């Protein structure tokens, strides 16, 4: 029963663990029940944080807002075993970083006891639900849920509120070369662009072409669908050419011998009218 309640809480996100999230916690407002204030120096980043990049511009915008209005949503933390007054962030690392930039000394937190696995699950689900991850980080988060906790794609879809097809398509991005995944992380390639490159041997080259050419997803799909191998033309030997000429004269129709080799080849006879075709069929049906 406890496991069922915990998973229902994880699926609902942060508000399920801190009570319904307060609409705002202004600098001088009384703290809601269950929320306490601790120095920013008492907090540590989450070891299992699925988010690897924090855009400087976004952090600065959030820092400016925090400087003016304070931290509006408390940071979810858990105690660090063996260290008094030290807490590990479960959800809210971006707010913590921005608060430091804003030179706040204290931040509101909600403290919850939870295991490593619970911390990882919630950190992943919270980030995905808030769309705080780029597509490659999101894919890595889904893969962590599969590898560490045996999640199925159906269960992930239910927990994070995404379609199963979205989960499957996002996971495919992990098959891309590291260089292409880096382009997705830094925003040069969208997830839609990247999906057109999955499974291609020259994915890195095509990714650069997409970026340099400013191609949209449709154009990228069209390029990926084209055959990449150039046509190979073999010079026909004199005997083959002579045979083609003899058959052309005999039939009065253009004859070509293609792909002739040790295993045989193809004989192609071109005609322009149905009368020519009928005449050819009659000649082939004559008794020998």
Q: Kindly name the residue from 88, 93, 121, 138 that is annotated as catalytic.
A: 93
Annotate 240-260 with DSSP letters as a single string.
HHHHHHHHHHHHSSEEEEEEE
Distances (CA, A) of 130 to 78, 92, 140, 162, 200: 20, 11, 16, 12, 32
> Is residue 194 within 8 Å of residue 215, measured between CB atoms?
no
Cα–Cα distance, 215 to 146 (Å, whole number): 34
Mapped onto helix, strand or coil, the DSSP state of residue 285 is helix
Q: Is 93 annotated in the active site?
A: yes
Cα–Cα distance, 229 to 173 (Å, whole number): 24
Annotate 107-174 with DSSP letters as a single string.
EEEEE----HHHHHHHHHHHHHHTT-S-HHHHHHHHHHHHHHH---HHHHHHHHT--HHHHHHHHGGG
Half-sphere exposure of 42 (CA within 13 A, CB side): 20
What tokens appear for 161 in the block? 């509120």
Cα–Cα distance, 252 to 276 (Å, whole number): 9
Half-sphere exposure of 284 (CA within 13 A, CB side): 8
- The set of catalytic residues is 93
């Amino acid at each position: 029963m406890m496991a069922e309640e915990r998973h229902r809480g994880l699926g609902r996100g942060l508000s399920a663990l801190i009570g319904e999230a307060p609409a705002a916690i202004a600098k001088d407002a009384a703290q809601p029940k269950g929320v306490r204030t601790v120095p920013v120096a008492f907090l540590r980043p989450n070891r299992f944080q699925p988010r690897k990049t924090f855009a400087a511009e976004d952090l600065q915008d959030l820092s400016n807002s925090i400087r003016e209005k304070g931290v509006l949503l408390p940071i979810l933390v858990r105690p660090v075993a063996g260290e008094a007054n030290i807490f590990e962030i479960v959800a809210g690392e971006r707010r913590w970083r921005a608060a430091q930039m804003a030179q706040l000394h204290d931040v509101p937190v909600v403290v919850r006891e939870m295991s490593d696995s619970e911390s990882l699950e919630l950190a992943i689900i919270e980030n995905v639900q808030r769309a705080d991850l780029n597509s490659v980080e999101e894919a890595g988060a889904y893969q962590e849920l599969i590898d560490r906790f045996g999640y199925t794609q159906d269960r992930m879809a239910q927990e994070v509120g995404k379609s199963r097809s979205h989960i499957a398509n996002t996971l495919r991005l992990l098959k891309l070369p590291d260089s292409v995944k880096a382009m997705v992380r830094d925003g040069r390639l969208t997830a839609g662009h990247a999906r057109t490159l999955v499974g291609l041997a020259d994915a890195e080259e095509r990714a650069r072409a997409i970026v340099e050419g400013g191609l949209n997803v449709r154009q990228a799909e069209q390029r990926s669908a084209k055959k990449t191998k150039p046509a190979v033309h073999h010079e026909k030997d004199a005997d083959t050419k002579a045979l083609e000429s003899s058959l052309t004269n005999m039939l009065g129709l253009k004859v070509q011998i293609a792909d002739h080799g040790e295993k045989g080849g193809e004989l192609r006879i071109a005609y322009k009218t149905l009368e020519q075709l009928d005449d050819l069929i009659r000649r082939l049906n004559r008794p020998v």
